[in-house]
């Protein structure tokens, strides 16, 4: 359990020393004292359980890895109170959710945008939640976490591989957007990219790896470099006219895509209980694969 969770149990009267209830978490403990902790059943989750068809890449008693389709919201929020991944996980996992911070809910340690597809891992208990959170906080700088995204962008970056380092913050003009800001402002953000190959003169296939995990990071960084993602209506709207230069089959596939062409295709981490290295790969979904084939590329 986390320190804060144990403090909550003390304040709620669930800890006894030598038979007497303790209410002060800062109380010093002397040698020979006998302490007992009564952990109540986890409270029911606030979001409702809703059965959803989930693509499960891996599951055990501590965690579950989901291959999320585009269009699925991860967590309930205003405008998306139901039908989210969290609702589906509560229904699927049931009693195997032992509680995060005393609530029977899945532990979301990272998220994908609604219209980004791919792999994400969710904790079922406090131990897994703490272990995974620590790995994601490190972002693979010194630990085992590995994440890679495949994306289609307008144009071919020069150089073909490199690092984009630019601070990000909520846009002052549009609070629904993230913007690049000056050094010393916002939050530090680093994206590493490699061009897998150009797909004709207008589009390139990239693999991106994150050294930080900011909201919309890949989308904003690549747009800032002049290579927004295909289908990104938020950060690539100025490139809509470029679609007319694509072959007709590619134009039709892009219209059918209806989202940013971004897929979280690789996820690796150390199991929070056993330390076993786990690594998962997901091929690009059908909508992106059709667009890639229409552009003359293999998937």
Return the active site residues: 113
Residues 292, 105: Cα–Cα separation, whole Å: 38
**171-210 burial: b if 16+ Cβ within 10 Å, else e:** eeeeeeebbbbeeeebeebbbebebeebbeebbbbbbbbb
Pairing of strands 117-123, 262-270: parallel
**Which residues are within 8 A (CB) of 76 and not within 5 positions of it... i.e. 6 or more apart?**
47, 82, 84, 86, 87
Could you give the CA distance from residue 108 to residue 110 in angstroms, rounded to a whole number?
6
Residue 15 three-state SS: strand
């Amino acid at each position: 359990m986390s320190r804060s969770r144990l403090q909550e149990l003390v304040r709620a009267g669930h800890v006894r020393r030598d038979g007497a209830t303790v209410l002060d978490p800062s109380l010093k403990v002397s040698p020979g004292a006998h302490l007992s902790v009564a952990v109540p059943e986890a409270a029911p989750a606030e979001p409702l359980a809703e059965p959803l068809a989930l693509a499960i890449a891996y599951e055990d008693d501590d965690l579950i890895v989901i291959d999320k389709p585009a269009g699925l919201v991860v967590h309930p929020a205003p405008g998306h109170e139901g039908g989210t991944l969290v609702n589906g996980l509560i229904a699927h996992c049931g009693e195997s959710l032992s509680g995060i911070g005393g609530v029977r809910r899945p532990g979301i340690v990272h998220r994908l945008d609604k219209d980004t597809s791919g792999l994400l891992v969710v904790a079922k208990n406090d131990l897994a939640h703490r272990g995974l959170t620590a790995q994601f906080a490190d972002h693979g700088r010194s630990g085992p976490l590995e994440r890679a995204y495949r994306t289609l962008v307008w144009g071919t970056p020069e150089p073909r591989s490199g690092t984009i380092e630019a601070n990000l913050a909520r846009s002052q003009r549009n609070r629904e957007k993230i913007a690049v800001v000056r050094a010393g402002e916002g939050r530090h953000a680093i994206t590493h990219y490699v061009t897998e190959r150009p797909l004709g003169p207008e589009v390139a296939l990239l693999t991106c790896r994150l050294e930080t995990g900011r909201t919309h990071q890949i989308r904003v960084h690549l747009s800032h470099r002049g290579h927004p993602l295909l289908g990104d209506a938020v950060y690539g709207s100025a490139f809509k006219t470029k679609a007319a230069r694509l072959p007709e089959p590619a134009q039709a596939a892009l219209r059918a895509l209806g989202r940013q062409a971004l897929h979280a295709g690789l996820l690796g981490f150390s199991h929070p209980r056993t330390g076993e290295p786990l690594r998962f790969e997901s091929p690009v979904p059908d909508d992106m694969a059709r667009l890639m084939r229409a552009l003359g590329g293999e998937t």
